[in-house]
A = this chain, B = another copy of it.
Amino acid sequence: MANSFGQLFRITTWGESHGGGVGVVVDGCPPRLKLAEADIQPDLDRRRPGQSRIVTPRKELDKVQILSGIFEGQTLGTPISMWVRNEDARSEAYSEMATKFRPSHADYTYAAKYGIRNWQGGGRTSARETIGRVAAGAIAKKLLRERFGVEVLAYVKQVQRLVAEVNPETVKAKEIEANIVRCPEPAMAEKMIRLIERMRKAGDSVGGIVEGVARGVPPGWGEPVFDRLEADLGKAMLSLPASKGFDIGSGFGGILLTGMEHNDAFRMKSGKVRTVTNRSGGIQGGISNGESIYFRVAFKPVATVMHEQDTVDTGFRNTTLKGRGRHDPCVLPRAVPMVEAMTALVLVDHALRHRAQCGE
C-alpha cells in the first residue's frame, strides 16, 4: 500500500533508478477524457534532469509510453499504465555506494528495514520514482482543468535566504516557466540562479521553498476530521523526496497574530460568500471555501555534495565518502512539477469523493 496514493483516483508507482524502468498505474480515471502521451510529456520534461545548467546533469529523455487505458484517444475508465524505460545505467559511477551509506540519504534505513537494497543510483529512493507521480499528475491536472475548471500551479518561492514576492492569486504559468529556476519574480530569479551556480561550483547545495496554488476550487471539496484537504495536501507534499515541512495559508507565520487579527471575515461579493482576507488558505475545517488554496513546502538542501563526509560502511565501520560524478545543487526547479502533480492528485481525488457522497 505504501506505493499507492489516493482513494478514488489512485496511483501506484513502481521502479528503481536502475532496472527495467519506472512507471505508474492510474486507477479510477473517469472515462472519455481525451488523453495522449503529448499531454504527459511536457511535465516530465519539466521534471527531468539535464534540462538546464542549474540541475543535475543526468542525460535522460524520460519519454513516457502509455500502455493501457486509452482507446481512440480517450480514456476508457480502466487503469492507465505508463512507464519510462531506464536508459542511463552507469552503475559503475556509483560503485562506492554498494558498501557505504551516504549521509542523509536513505541507504542505511532501507538496509535496516529490508535487509537488502538496490544501491545503484539510490534504487527506489531515487528521484526517478517521481516520474510516475508527475505523469499521473499531468492527467489529474487535465481533468481538473477540463472537467472542474480548476488550475494548479507551483513555483519557487525561496532559495536559502532569497525570498520572492509572488501573488498566488494572479501568477501565470508562463511567468513561472520564463526562467530556469521557475521563480516568477524575474529579478529574484536571477539572484537565485546565481546562488545555485555558486553552489554547483562549490560542490555544495541549497534548499528552499516551493509554493503551490490551486485556483477555482469550488466550496465543498475535502472532508472533516482525518482526510481534511490540508492534511491530504500535507501528506502529499511530505511524501516528496527532500521535503521537510508544509504549511498552508498563514501557516507558521500565523502564530504571531491574535485571533482577531487572524480571522477571515465573510462578505458577500457578486452573489458569492467570500472572505475578505485568506489566511485560511482556501480551506476551513478541512473543506474548501471557494478561495484560492495556497501552501508552502520546505525542501532541504540536496544531500549529495562533492566533498568528503564522515559515514559508516555496510560492515558497520567508520569511514568517509565523497560524492562523485553528477551533482544536483538545488532540487527546487525540478520539484515544481512534482508539487503541481501531487496537488492535482489530491484535488481530483477529493473532487470524485465529493461527487460520490454529495452529488445528485
Size class of A's contact patch?
35 or more
CA distance A28 to B357 in the complex (A): 6
A207 within 8 A of B: yes
Please give, as numbers and ranges, the residues of chain B lying within 8 Å of A303 by CB-CB distance: 259, 262-263
CA distance A113 to B286 in the complex (A): 11
Interface string of A287-312 (1 = CB under 8 A from B): 11110000000111111110101111
Interface string of A1-31 (1 = CB under 8 A from B): 1111101101011111001111101011011
CA distance A15 to B23 in the complex (A): 14
CB of A312 within 8 A of CB of B267, answer yes
Taking CB atoms and an 8 Å cut-off, the chain A residues in 224-261 that contact chain B are 224-228, 230-239, 241, 243-252, 254-261
Nearest Cβ distance between residue A191 and chain B, in whole angstroms? 15
Q: Which 4 pairs, one residue from A and one from B, show the smallest C-beta to C-beta distance?
A: A106-B285, A245-B247, A20-B67, A2-B223
Whether A285 touches B105, Cβ cut-off 8 Å, given contacts A3-B27, A114-B76, A305-B259, is yes
Please give, as numbers and ranges, the residues of chain B lying within 8 Å of A63 by CB-CB distance: none
Q: How many monomers of this chain does the complex have? A: 4
CA distance A28 to B354 in the complex (A): 10
CB of A255 within 8 A of CB of B300, answer yes
* Interface segment out of the listed A49-57, A123-131, A179-187: A123-131
Q: Considering only CB atoms, which chain B residue lies closest to A20 in the complex?
A: B67
- Interface-central residue, A244, A271, A352, by most chain B CB under 10 Å: A244
Contact of A10 among B4, B117, B264, B275 (CB under 8 A): B4
* Interface segment out of the listed A38-46, A78-86, A170-178, A333-341: A78-86
Whether A224 touches B307, Cβ cut-off 8 Å, given contacts A67-B14, A231-B238, A298-B251, is no
CA distance A160 to B83 in the complex (A): 44
CB of B285 within 8 A of CB of A125, answer yes
A77 within 8 A of B: yes
CB of A255 within 8 A of CB of B357, answer no
A353 within 8 A of B: yes
Q: Considering only CB atoms, which chain B residue lies closest to A206 in the complex?
A: B258
